[in-house]
Amino acid sequence: MIFCNLREETLMKNLSQYRIMALGLVASVIGAPLAADVLSTTSPTIRNNLCVGGSCLNDESFSGDFNQIVVKASNTRLLFEDATTLANFPSDDWALQANERVINGRNQFMLKNDTLGTIPVTVQAGAGENALFLADTGRIGMGTSMPQTDLHIVGSGATVGLRMQTSGASSHTWAMQSNQFNWFMTNVTDNNVPFVVRSGAGTNTLVLDDNSFVGIGTPAPEELLHIRSSTPNTDAFALFDATAAGSDSAFRLRQNGTIPSTWEFRNQQSSGRLNVGIAGGNTPLKIDNLANNNLIRLGRNGLPGEVNITGTLVVNNTQLNVPDYVFADDYALRPLAEVRAFIDKNSHLPDVPSEAEIKANGVDMTAMQMTLLKKVEELTLYTLELEQARAAQQAQIAELQGLVLGLRQMQE
């Protein structure tokens, strides 16, 4: 074995010899066109310090704090050349290189795959303290020597981020960033910010559960979307806000069952109405934005089956047949005896649906209103006939009373 732990005078005496040996070694390290000398055919040991390279001095000084191997030249690198010739064994050559070997090149330290000509790892000269720190816990720190999670990033400015960029013809770039106010996702390519979390957002502001349910304000959503308010005097509202010109605000309910349909609740920008109907189809319900309070109430205290309409009910049916025809001269008014016979037989008025019919088919309120109006008008005619008969009877009674009075006077 060759030992290089020598006294100073011995080292100086044999310096030239080791200098030649070092030059031979540097030829293999940096690829310089020098002839190599064989230093040993055994396994020598070099103790303390070693300088390798064309710029090493005869009286090279080494730091007393370390045992060092110094590679000293204008272009320096350490080559790991794999001489494996066995099949299926890894054999790539690797190198550690300091700085680029071109004019105006960059100051940087590189790990190179010499076989493939790639540089998978680069450390530039301006990299800050703890730019990359691998803790003994296995955690990685970037900008910190005390990583608190598997990956801990501490930025040097007001905003820190993680950028993700694809390559190729359809390349796209995203960035996750944070500052003292927000954590946000940025679509760098399209220059927009689709997702933001404010620094004051509370616990369970947004939860995506294991069953794909979404919770807003709850850690355990019970439906596909569950909105919960747990703060006193705070309502659990969902706001659908259309702010652009010509845009309605709406939401839809769709099912694809036996009879597929999509219902729509739409706040129409052109009228201010709430329209409820089939998406792209009929709108059977419209509520004006100036409608009075409590126009329709379904049920009241103690009266759960009551339908209370506080406004004016207007029926506008194009097939409505108002029964003013009852007052026409040719209208065939049933005699009361015929009406009585019908009631005795059927237990309801003519033209009016029976209780059984209403239970079976329901009631058409418009038709029922017109039928009742018809009966009122017929009742009016019956009343007028009775009044006419009563007037005739009164005239006859007056005439008879006059005759009786005359007879009494004659007898006297």
The pLDDT-based confidence of 34 (bands split at 50, 70, 90) is low
Write down the pLDDT at residue 5.
36
In this structure, are residues 354 and 346 in contact, taking their beta carbons and an 8 Å threshold? yes
Longest Cα–Cα distance in the chain: 189
Residue among 370, 375, 388, 365 nearest 342 (CA):
375
223's torsion region: left (phi>0), alpha (psi -120 to 50) or beta?
Answer: beta
DSSP string, 300-356: ETTEEEEEEE-S------TT---GGGGGSTT--PPPHHHHHHHHHHHSS-TTSPPHH
pLDDT digits (tens, 9 = 90+) for 205-238: 999 999 999 999 999 999 999 999 999 999 999 9
What integer is the mean pLDDT of 22-48?
Answer: 65
Express each pLDDT in 88-134 by its tens digit.
999 999 999 999 999 999 999 999 999 999 999 999 999 999 999 99
Mean pLDDT of the chain: 88
Please name the residue that has the structure tokens 């090493």.
56
**Which residue type occupies 385?**
E
* pLDDT > 50? residue 28: no
Kindly list the domain boundaries of the chain, sorted by start residue. 8-153, 184-231, 323-411
Q: Please check whether residue 164 is in contact with residue 173, taking contact to mean a CB–CB distance below 8 angstroms.
A: yes
Work out the percent of the chain whose per-residue pLDDT is above 70: 90
What is the number of other CB atoms lying within 10 angstroms of the CB of residue 51?
19
243, 240, 244, 242: which is closest to 252 by C-alpha?
240
pLDDT on residue 21: 44
Q: What is the pLDDT of residues 248-285, one digit of tens each?
A: 999 999 999 999 999 999 999 999 999 999 999 999 99
Higher-pLDDT residue of 21 and 317 is 317
- Tokens encoding 159: 């905003």
CA distances from 164 to 100, 138, 174, 175, 191 (A): 27, 23, 5, 6, 14
| pLDDT of residue 23 exceeding 90 | no
How confident is residue 16, by pLDDT bands cut at 50, 70 and 90? very low
Q: Within 10 Å of residue 3's Cβ, how many Cβ atoms?
A: 10
Confidence class for position 320, pLDDT limits 50, 70, 90: low
The pLDDT confidence band at residue 19, using thresholds 50, 70 and 90, is very low
Contacts of 190 (CB under 8 A, 6+ apart): none
Tens of pLDDT, residue by residue over 294-305, are 999 898 888 888
Residue 3: is its pLDDT beyond 50? no
Per-residue pLDDT tens over the stretch 134-147? 999 999 999 999 99
pLDDT in tens, 65-83: 888 899 999 989 999 999 9
